[in-house]
């Protein structure tokens, strides 16, 4: 029996599941992470880790757990967020109960991404319980505000915490995501000319003109994609349409032709593209419509979501050490070769991996969950949860026993 097999003998699945249940039972919507942060800080301290709590915004804390190595090896940081989406309609189970059955664990945020968070904590505890002494440090970075563009991870990096490698645990259904798109939003304001419906011929209906934009968006090819993988990252979604009278979109005066209609559009772009190039492509689209229709008028602006950061594209070479280590660990645990690369639908995510990579740390996105993410009765397969913890364990053992 080799050392990697021996270390996995110390995996404690019951404790892993119990921890994840407790995490789900702590509601942690973005801005409301404090109780979960306190719970996790106490949990990690009681397990013997060095713990740092970072106040990112008033009463919002990152939790950093550190298992020190001997100082001779390479370090590995796990990055995962503890904030979740709010609960929507149509749930059939209590979203905060942490319910389990023979196949799944359920709860809001369990897929995005408390399951991976719990799996990495479990992996570190497996290392500790096995008596393994690592050469390099392991850092557990549990952050707030990923759903706000990654404010927690940016704070962590700005505080000086770093590592040689990282694993981001966003839910990829245990695929190795090496490429994902950058994400940002634009607003397109379409302008009309208001008249009473009795004088429709003298006016311009801004909502009707907005239909021209909607149709043209379907035909846009964004420039700057230097290969087919990059081109396949381009995607858009019209998430908001609002029209009415005046800048306030007054809705009570329906007989008046609307003189303003606004579209808010989410965009995805590749590493060879930029927000600027995408906006230029959209401006050319607007200009093209204007050339065909002299009554069409519109303006494009980038959406500023309360100064929240944007998530840029992420890419790591498929031959990089961290990718090879994770691929080997996944194969060891599951006896199946993982999917590696620009895997759909995960390649359309925005993740904190881009912030970490930009800071100079190389890493991979790999986590459990995904199929049932951001939907009623959000859940994760227990088998995937257990496998993820084991894969993380082997990755820690491999990376952190490599000399600097």
Predicted local confidence at residue 157, as pLDDT? 98
Predicted local confidence at residue 278, as pLDDT? 97
306 has pLDDT over 80:
no
Break the chain into its structural domains and give their ranges: 3-180+313-399, 182-302
pLDDT band at 310 (very low <50, low <70, confident <90, very high): confident
| In CATH, 182-302 is 3.30.70.360 | yes
Q: What percent of the chain has pLDDT over 70?
A: 98
149 has pLDDT over 80:
yes
344 has pLDDT over 80:
yes
Task: Name the pTM for this structure.
Answer: 0.93
Report yes or no: 299 and 280 within 8 Å, Cβ to Cβ.
Answer: no
Q: What percent of the chain has pLDDT over 90?
A: 96
CATH level 3 topology of 3-180+313-399? Aminopeptidase (3.40.630)
Interval 234-274: pLDDT, tens: 999 999 999 999 999 999 999 999 999 999 999 999 999 99
Interval 61-81: pLDDT, tens: 999 999 999 999 999 999 999
């Amino acid at each position: 029996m080799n050392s990697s097999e021996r270390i996995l003998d110390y995996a404690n699945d019951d404790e892993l599941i119990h921890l994840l249940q407790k995490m789900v039972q702590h509601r942690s919507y973005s801005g409301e992470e404090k109780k979960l942060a306190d719970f996790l800080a106490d949990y990690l301290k009681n397990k013997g880790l060095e713990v740092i709590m970072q106040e990112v915004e008033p009463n919002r804390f990152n939790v950093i757990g550190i298992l020190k190595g001997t100082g001779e090896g390479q370090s590995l940081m796990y990055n995962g967020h503890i904030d979740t989406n709010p609960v929507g309609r149509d749930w059939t189970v209590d979203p905060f109960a942490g319910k389990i059955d023979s196949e799944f664990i359920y709860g809001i945020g369990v897929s995005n991404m408390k399951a991976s968070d719990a799996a990495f904590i479990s992996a570190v505890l497996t290392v500790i319980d096995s008596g393994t002494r690592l050469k390099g440090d392991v850092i557990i970075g549990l952050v707030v505000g990923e759903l706000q563009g990654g404010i927690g991870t940016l704070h962590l990096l700005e505080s000086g915490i770093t590592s040689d490698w990282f694993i981001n645990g966003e839910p990829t259904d245990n695929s190795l995501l090496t490429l994902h798109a950058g994400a940002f939003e634009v607003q397109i304001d379409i302008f009309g000319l208001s008249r009473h419906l009795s004088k429709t011929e003298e006016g311009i209906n801004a909502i009707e003109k907005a239909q021209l934009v909607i149709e043209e968006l379907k035909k846009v090819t964004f420039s700057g994609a230097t290969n087919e993988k990059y081109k396949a990252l381009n995607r858009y979604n019209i998430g908001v349409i609002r029209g009415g009278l005046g800048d306030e979109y007054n809705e009570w005066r329906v007989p008046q032709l609307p003189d303003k209609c606004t579209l808010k559009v989410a965009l995805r772009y590749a590493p060879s593209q930029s927000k600027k190039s995408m906006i230029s492509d959209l401006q050319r689209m607007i200009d093209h419509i204007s050339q065909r229709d002299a009554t069409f008028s519109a303006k494009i602006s980038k959406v500023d979501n309360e100064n929240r950061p944007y998530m840029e594209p992420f890419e790591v070479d498929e031959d990089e050490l961290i990718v090879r280590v994770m691929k080997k660990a996944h194969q060891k645990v599951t006896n199946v070769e993982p999917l590696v690369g620009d895997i759909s639908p995960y390649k359309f995510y925005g993740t904190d991996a881009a912030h970490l990579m930009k800071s100079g740390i190389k890493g991979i996105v790999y986590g459990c969950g995904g199929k049932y993410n951001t939907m009623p009765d959000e859940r994760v397969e227990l088998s995937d949860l257990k496998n993820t913890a084991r894969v993380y364990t082997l990755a820690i053992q491999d990376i952190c026993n490599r000399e600097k």
